[in-house]
């Protein structure tokens, strides 16, 4: 009998399908007039692609937030290219700073009369180290500040704005299936533990606000070849989605 688990872990399923299903195809989504989304961590990679998808889906207003103003402007230009009618606002924001995220929230309120979706995509992995006795403690601190504390900042300041408006509203957090990893070539403690704490925060907030019509979920996109993931071991890169 053929050992289908030999080689790379992506070979466990011999037949793989990589395509956009109709249910998640942004070109087939009809968003309501005035739909507004705020994407935190939108300057590159998954966050930028999320912004493009909302533009393609017909969002009226897309608010892009990240530390790099120049990178945000590049993403904004592509959003406008995808959907010329979309209104795009770029807000420089450091998710690790309570004051910075509070300023983002004030800007969001100034921009429009509604907020339908917040997407928290900011993330930090740092150099992969497999033992707590190795690596730099500063990377642990940054991972917790970005992945865990940053998500708290976003929830603390942006949830009240979501709750001000009637209708469907969502707080979406890009998390990672790495929360389940304890060994192997990418068992990076600073990343997996900070993401595990982030996921528990999402679960708790979901319980707290479910009765108010707020959908709060953690999204696990899998291994995606982005700029942030370039620091992963070469063996892992061979298993990533294109």
| Residue pair 93/66 in contact by the 8 Å Cβ criterion | yes
Q: What CA–CA distance (Å, rounded) separates 72 from 90?
A: 6
Catalytic annotation, pick one of 152, 195, 237, 240: 195
b/e per residue 12-35 (b: at least 16 CB within 10 A): eeeeeeeeeeeeeebeebebeeeb
Query: Which distant-in-sequence residues (6+ apart) come within 8 Å of 195 by Cβ?
Result: 147, 175, 176, 178, 179
Backbone φ, ψ for residue 164 (5° rounding): -70, -20
237 is catalytic: no
Query: Which distant-in-sequence residues (6+ apart) come within 8 Å of 77 by Cβ?
Result: none
195 is catalytic: yes
Catalytic annotation, pick one of 11, 191, 209, 237: 191
For residue 162, how many other CB atoms are within 10 A of its CB? 24
Residues tagged active-site:
191, 195
């Amino acid at each position: 009998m053929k050992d289908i688990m030999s080689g790379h872990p992506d070979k466990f399923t011999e037949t793989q399908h990589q395509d956009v299903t109709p249910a998640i195809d942004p070109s087939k989504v009809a968003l309501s007039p005035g739909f507004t989304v705020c994407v935190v961590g939108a300057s590159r990679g998954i966050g930028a692609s999320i912004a493009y998808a909302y533009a393609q889906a017909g969002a009226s207003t897309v608010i892009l937030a990240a530390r790099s103003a120049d990178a945000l402007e590049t993403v904004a230009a592509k959003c406008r290219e995808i959907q010329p009618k979309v209104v795009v606002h770029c807000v420089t924001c450091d998710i690790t700073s309570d004051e910075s995220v509070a300023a983002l929230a004030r800007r969001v309120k100034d921009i429009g009369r509604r907020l339908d979706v917040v997407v928290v995509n900011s993330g930090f992995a740092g150099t992969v180290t497999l033992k707590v006795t190795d690596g730099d403690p500063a990377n642990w601190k940054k991972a917790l500040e970005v992945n865990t504390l940053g998500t708290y900042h976003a929830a603390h300041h942006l949830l009240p704005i979501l709750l001000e408006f009637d209708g469907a509203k969502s707080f979406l957090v890009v998390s990672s299936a790495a929360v389940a990893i304890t060994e192997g070539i990418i068992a990076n403690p600073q990343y997996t533990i900070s993401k595990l704490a982030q996921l528990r925060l999402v679960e708790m907030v979901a319980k707290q606000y479910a009765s108010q019509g707020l959908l709060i979920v953690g999204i696990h996109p899998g291994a995606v070849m982005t700029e942030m993931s370039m620091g992963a071991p070469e063996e892992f890169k061979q298993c990533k989605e294109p």
